[in-house]
A and B are shown apart, each in its own frame.
Chain A
Amino acid sequence: MEYLIGIQGQDFVLVAADNVAASSIIQMKHDYDKMFKLSEKILLLCVGEAGDTVQFAEYIQKNVQLYKMRNGYELSPAAAANFTRKNLADYLRSRTPYHVNLLLAGYDDSDGPGLYYMDYLSSLAKAPFAAHGYGAFLTLSILDRYYRPDLTRDEAMDLLKKCIEEVSSASISRRFHLHYLHLFNLFHL
């Protein structure tokens, strides 16, 4: 099962995803990237049904970039998240719904960092930390226990490592390669 996790700090969002692309019992790729860069300050992580993930995420990605081309400035993370949710909701009751679970992480210059949790039923929630997949059952309680709103980047990284260790050891289905991380920070961008 695929796994996504996001942790928001004071001036950053830390997100991670596993690197495995699987087809039933076979791991087809060990270095598969599940992150889609919507803009310089927004990152979309997408898991779910095989073809839907790339299709939907690329669709959102291109539309966000189109907005920037048309209007000269970028969408804010909140706007991008709501746009994504609207698309999910529109397709939900069509013949071809997208079965994807998403995390959207972004940094707004005025509002600060933001992590948005979306699932395939087009629910949307802005959360300080979130996770998708079976690994979420294992790690949400770790996050509940150790999360603080004023985490520094190192502390957040340690917390993330705790979660990854837990998922790697307790997961019966597959090994994880969670070495692909993105760190959003005002000072880096």
Chain B
Amino acid sequence: MALQDLCNFQDIFQDSLIQQCFLGTFEKNTACDYVSSLSTRSSTSLFNFYIPVAEYLDESPIQFGQISTIQSSSAISSQESILSPSSLPTSLPFASSQSVPLPFPMSHGTTTLAFMFQGGVLAAADTRSSCSGLVACPASQKILPIHSHLVGTTSGTSADCALWKRILARELRLYQLRHGTTKSQMTDQENFSGPGLFYVCSDGTRLQGTLFSVGSGSPYAYSILDQGVRWGLTVDEATSIAREAVYRATHRDAYSGNCVDIYHITSNGWTRRSNYYLLLHVVESHKQGEAENG
């Protein structure tokens, strides 16, 4: 089972450049926000888990002695209440190291968003990893699949987010093995079913909702989303709104940019929409703008 997961994982992540990004990108450890999307499955089949690629396990995420406060987020899905016996860790295992000053000032910048609609949950994020005015990686993955029905968008220190994604995947997998199934019931609401969306922040906030945007570009994205997001959107409309929102945010926010990743989660699992190049979108929307302005 594990080997199959590994093979499946390899197929999907073959084309990404995450190896370079995760090894070389350190962002300021100010806030690591984690938005998770979850969708249930109708059958009792197990979720498919993804074992992280070995490449970014080679280097420890804590190399420069990041400040050892409990700032990592705990990504939570609707199964979180079931996980309380196994208690997700709230601090990094090596958080007891003394704080060492960071070698250069870091900043975090991103635009991530997710919303629910009749077709499931849509998550979108830009792909720029910035490092104090330098674009460290123009093709970083900010949406990380946890398992076949759970996806997390990340904002903040990408190393922390990668670590937390692995911790969450491990805890969910352990739960799955211990309890047989990972049916996402048994929360406070008895009739929970269907998609769920949670915003989790490293200061301990956890909110459930239908629309969230996180990151330095989030206010710009919010304004687009608040106008256009309705429950009755089709998948294509939702995709174009998400793309538009990220595009507008990257237009205004210096720390967001490059491409946009879009993930669509339904009861059948998540699918990754094609990676839209924002430059292409610029051309399209400018043409539209010119056409409208006459």
Binding site for B on A (CB under 8 A): 21, 23, 25-26, 28-29, 32, 49-52, 54-55
Contacts and interface: CB of A to CB of B under 8 A. Distances in A.
Complex A-B, nearest 5 residue pairs according to Cβ-Cβ distance, in ascending order:
A51-B204, A50-B205, A50-B203, A51-B203, A29-B209
Contacts of B204: 50-52, 54-55
B199 A54 contact: no
Interface in B210-239: 212-213, 218-219, 222
A26 B218 contact: yes
B219 A26 contact: yes
B219 A28 contact: no
B interface, over-half SS: mixed
Contacts of A25: 219
B201 interface: yes
A21 B218 CA distance: 16
Nearest to A49: B203
A54 B203 CA distance: 11
Contact of A50 (B201, B213, B218): B201
Interface residues of B, number: 13
Contact of B207 (A28, A49, A52, A55): A28
Contacts of B205: 21, 23, 50-51, 54
B206 interface: yes
B212 A28 contact: yes
User: Which has the most chain A C-beta neighbours within 10 Å: B203, B205, B206, B213?
Assistant: B205
B209 A23 contact: no
A29 B210 CA distance: 9
A32 B207 CA distance: 8
A26 B249 CA distance: 15
B187 to A, nearest CB: 15
A28 B201 CA distance: 12
Contacts of B199: 28
Contacts of B219: 25-26
Given A51-B203, A54-B204, A54-B205, 8 more contacts: A23-B205, A26-B213, A26-B222, A28-B212, A49-B203, A50-B203, A51-B205, A55-B204
B148 to A, nearest CB: 28
Contacts of B206: 54
Contacts of A21: 205, 207
23 contacts: A21-B205, A21-B207, A23-B201, A25-B219, A26-B218, A26-B219, A26-B222, A28-B199, A28-B207, A28-B209, A28-B212, A29-B209, A32-B207, A50-B201, A50-B203, A50-B204, A51-B204, A51-B205, A52-B204, A54-B204, A54-B205, A54-B206, A55-B204
A122 B207 CA distance: 27
Nearest to B206: A54
A36 B172 CA distance: 29
A3 B204 CA distance: 20
A98 to B, nearest CB: 11
